[in-house]
Amino acid sequence: MKLRIHSSGEDQDDKMVSFMLVAETDTHKSTLKFYGYHDDFKDFASELEHFPFQEKGPIVYETGDWKKSAYGLLLKVELVDKAGHIKFTVQTRDATNNESALFAGDVEAMSVTELGRKLQNADFRHKSEIVWQP
């Protein structure tokens, strides 16, 4: 799986950022455009940097109301078992095009930490992109 999050920069009037997320495997690809604020990923990123060393449930980033919004995005990292297996899930929904996608797979703890660092260091106020491939 490969994940890219692109920002076109912060709008000076309303401070909103236009994001584009691309999740892909060798055979499938999903693109989702959505709006948020430059720091929307910060809490999620902070939790990822300390995963799996904090005892708690899955770490989730979610935007959009799955039943009411034009789009929805779910990023989830969870410890699957006591042996330390980690599952990463990306789910997208674009109601305007009647499209949805689900990607899930096993990842290493170091890779989760790397994603956390990339999101933490990204300055989405400006045009930027992060690429993560566990």
Statement: residue 36 has pLDDT above 90: yes
What is the share, in percent, of the chain residues with pLDDT greater than 90?
75
Which letter, b or e, does each residue of 50-60 get, where b requires 16 or more Cβ atoms within 10 Å of its Cβ? Answer: ebbeeeeeebe
Q: Write down the pLDDT at residue 57.
A: 78
Q: How does residue 129 score in pLDDT terms, banded at 50, 70 and 90?
A: very high
Domains of the chain: 2-132 (2.30.31)
Q: Write down the pLDDT at residue 98.
A: 86
Q: Write down the pLDDT at residue 65.
A: 78
pLDDT per residue as tens digits for the range 65-116: 777 888 999 999 999 888 888 999 999 999 888 889 999 999 999 999 999 9
pTM: 0.91
Q: Write down the pLDDT at residue 54.
A: 66
Q: How does residue 61 score in pLDDT terms, banded at 50, 70 and 90?
A: very high
Q: Count CB neighbours of 69 within 10 A.
A: 14
